[in-house]
Structure 1
Amino acid sequence: MPIITDTVTTPDGSCSVTFATPDGDGPWPGVVMYPDAGGPRQTFDEMAQRLASAGYAVVVPDVYYRNPGWAPFDMATVFGDPKERGRLFSMIGKVTPDMMAADAAALFDYLAARPEVRGEAFGTTGYCMGGRTSLVVAGRVPDRVGAALSFHGGGLASEDAGSPHVLADRMRAPIYVGGAEKDASFTAAQAETLDRALTAADVPHTIEFYAAGHGFAVPDNAPYDEQAAARHWTATTEFLGRHLS
């Protein structure tokens, strides 16, 4: 699948992105794919190309662009290295819901301006912290989100004010959440809280758990699970096919 690097102008500067499209003639529906805590890297270029092969124009943003020159993380070892783990969580904590919403508006403008993309409402999908971002954006920029997915996302129904579940009454897009059974950041109790909020707001949604650990869908994560990852690709294409295409 064709893929290019580009930049998107946001209120805070220039966000580097990769942009993948299917082979052949467009235009196609657009999707923002939010990376996990490790940020954009080769694994996500490959994942964007895989989603593009299903008929979507996919943009992957550098969620850490406000930290110019940041050093990439080794996802196989980062959580076992106290210094790197601290750096990772420090960077995660700097990405606020306000930033997520402002960046999303700029990314949607970028997609809308691309000749390869059709429509004014877009899909969002994300992994780990990107799964939380996907749902935050669905609540903070609802007019421009046509479908939103989250895979092994954490903090989806937490006690902090930025939790996605408190935005349920603002969401308009159908929501899909694929949680990990072995994941303290999104438990069965939290899933019930999220389900209640989405149900009360009449938001169409699916919440289900995969028999795997946090990080199951991303190939360079230590808990990557091939079977669960395959199931996640099926869920992604079926959900976007119903609600975005």
Structure 2
Amino acid sequence: MTISSVAAVAGLPSATVAANVTERDVMVRTGDGMADAAMFHPAGAGSWPAVLMWPDILGLRPAFRDMGRRLAAAGYTVLVPNPFYRTRRAPVVTGAFDFNDPKQRDAIMSLRATLTDAGIAKDAAAFITFLDRQRATNRRKGAGVQGYCFSGPFAFQTAAVRSDRIRAVGTFHGGGLVTKEASSPHLLIPKTKASFVVAIARNDDQKQPDAKGILKASFAAAKRRAVVEVFPADHGWCVPGSQTYDQPSAERAWAELLRLYRTRLV
């Protein structure tokens, strides 16, 4: 998806989006090396709340650069990292990707297997620390984190490992938020100090219909404010260019995210 197409979805002229956002590629020091990432913030002098935007399993690529740019235009300092930096630089996928192609699917799942919960926790802490060192970050305001598909759990982990900073969490068609393992992301909720928006894909809900109830009960038990909703769209619907992109549902999810940030990142 190009800048112009993102601007059209956002209701903004492409020139306005480009002129109002400063962006640069950065390298972030982590416990395991240097992670490549993209950073965005409103143009001009000032500072804004920090947001860590974890990409989906296809990683840092033009679609997520566009999403980072769009969020920055709304008044945030945004970091979009390459989760697979230990293995290769972004983009890890170029051109069209077909999850129905076993060869392509196996290749990306092999990359996924290189990530561990411990590694993601270290990375999350490092990324928030990096954001807080930027002049464009207003550290007096809370920070946010959002995840998509496989990075939905990463958003929960970030909120737990940096509960001192994260005040808002958004997950969109997140996979594996509720499992039977002791490491299930939903068990991290009491360790957080955030409010949540959890947007669930209808086909994910069909496969795991009890997950939404478990999430709601977990949020209630921990006294965390949360919106947990099943959207009338399939897994991947929020990411422009995906095979299941659904613009009306994506725009509604985006509006929910901004409502959360405007309420909590103050």
* CA–CA separation in structure 1 for the residues paired with 2:95 and 2:191: 34
Q: Which amino acid aligns with 2:132?
A: A
Q: In structure 1, the residue corresponding to 2:37 is in which secondary structure?
A: strand
State how far apart, in whole Å, the 2-side matches of 1:85 and 1:184 are.
22
Aligned to 2:93: 73
Which residue does 1:206 correspond to in 2? Answer: 227
- Which residue does the alignment assign to 2:4? none
**Equivalent residue for 2:57?**
37
Which residue of the other structure, out of 145, 161, 174, is the alignment partner of 1:153? Answer: 174
CA distance in 1 between counterparts of 2:110 and 2:182 reads 19
**How many Å apart are 1:184 and its aligned residue?**
5.7
What secondary structure does 1:142 align onto?
coil
| CA distance 1:93–1:160, shift in 2 (3 Å) | farther
* Distance change >3 Å, CA 142–CA 110, structure 1 → 2: same
2:10 aligned residue: none
Q: Distance in 2 between matches of 1:193 and 1:33?
A: 25
The 5 A counterparts of 1:93-242 are 93-119=113-139, 121-183=142-204, 187-242=208-263
Larger deviation, residues 37-46 vs 124-133? 124-133
1:66-114 Cα distance to aligned partner (Å, 9 max, x none): 1025773258433121111112112223222211111111111111110
Which one of 79, 84, 91 corresponds to residue 104 of structure 2? 84
Q: TM-score, normalised by structure 1?
A: 0.94
**What is the alpha-carbon distance in structure 1 between the residues aligned to residue 173 and residue 224 of structure 2?**
20
Q: How many aligned residue pairs are there?
A: 245
Could you report, residue by residue, the CA deviation over 1:108-143 in whole angstroms, capped at 9, with x for unpaired residues?
Answer: 111111001011641001111122211121123212
What's 1:55 paired with?
75
Q: Sort the Cα spacing of 1:69 and 1:116 in 2 relative to 1 into closer, same or farther, 3 A.
A: closer
State the alpha-carbon separation in 2 of the partners of residues 202 and 187 from structure 1: 24
Which deviates further from its counterpart, 87-96 or 14-23?
Answer: 87-96
CA distance in 2, matches of 1:185, 1:91: 27
> CA–CA distance in 2 between the matches of 1:236 and 1:17?
22
Shift in Å at residue 226 of structure 1?
Answer: 0.6
> Is the 8 Å Cα contact of residues 75 and 221 (structure 1) preserved in structure 2?
no
More strand, by proportion: 1
SS in 2 for 1:118: coil
8 Å contact kept, 1:35–1:126: yes
Equivalents in 2 of 1:175, 1:185: separation in Å?
A: 22
> CA-to-partner distance for each residue in 1:189-230, whole Å, 9 max, x for gaps?
111111111211111111011100000000121000010111
TM-score by length of 2: 0.87
Seq. identity, %: 33
